[in-house]
Amino acid sequence: MAAKTIKMFPIISKLYCLGCETELMVRRRPHAVYGGGFVVTDCSTHKVVFKVDGCDVVGKRNELILRHGDGHPLLLMRRKGGGMVEALSFNKVWKGYRLDLEGSGGGSLLKKQLLFTLKESSSSSSSSSCCFAKEGPIRITTQPRTFTNKSWDFEIKGYFPDKSSSILDSKGNVVGFTKELDQFMDSKDVYHVLVNPGIDQAFVFAVIAILDYIYGESTICSS
C-alpha cells in the first residue's frame, strides 16, 4: 500500500512543515532574568526549535519577534494602532511580517512581507472566560489568500490561559492545540503544543506568541 501523501501548508516556510504530528514543549522565560518571552523545544529531539522575544526584549510595546532556535529572526508581530484610536477600536489587529537581514555581516532588520493578520476580539483579555464572545472569535487571515474562499483562514477556540485552546482551519480541522502538563499544574511556565502533520510550526508559535501577549503572560511588558 502506498504511503499517504501529507499535504503541506507553508505560511512562513515549508521548512517548518513536517510530515508527522509533532509535540513541542513551551517554557516561559522570566521577565526578571531574560526579559520575558518563551523557548520552544522539540520533545523527541530535545532541541530548541523556536524562541520568542517578549516586548521587554524587543523594547517596544505591541511588538514581538519569533526566532529560529539558532537565534535567526523569522517574524515580526506588531499590533496595529495605539493611543485613543486603539482604545476605541472594536477589534485590535496584529500583523505578522517576514524578517530578512539586509546587507552583509548581520545588517539591519528589514520588514519585507506581510504573512498574516490576526484580529482579536474586544473581549479577549485575561478576564475573559473564552476566546469566543458576542463579538466573535479570534480569527486569522493569511497572505496571499490561498487556503479558503472565506474571509478568514484560521480561528482560535478555547481559553488560552488554561492551556486548552486550539487553532482550527476554516473547515473546522484542528491544526494545533495547547496542552497543560499534569506534573506542572502548580506552574503555568511549562506546557505542550501538538502540531498536526503538514502544518507550519513557525506560524503556530507566532499565533501562540500573540495569544500569550493578549492574555498578559510572558511576552507582555513587565512595566
Instruction: Give the per-residue pLDDT at 223.
Output: 72
**Three-state DSSP class for 107?**
coil
pLDDT mean by block of 10 residues, the chain; 223 residues: 74 94 95 92 97 94 95 93 50 88 55 87 52 65 75 93 93 93 69 96 98 95 83
Strand partners, 38: 28, 52
State the Cα–Cα distance between residues 46 and 210, nearest whole angstrom.
24
Instruction: Give the per-residue pLDDT at 189.
Output: 87
Instruction: Give the per-residue pLDDT at 129.
Output: 41
- Among 1, 6, 54, smallest CA distance to 31 is for 54
Instruction: Give the per-residue pLDDT at 166.
Output: 97
Q: Which fold has domain 20-214?
A: Porin (2.40.160)
Instruction: Give the per-residue pLDDT at 153.
Output: 93
Is residue 50 within a helix (H) or strand (E), and if so which, with residue range? strand 48-53
**Half-sphere exposure for 214 (CA within 13 Å, toward CB):** 28
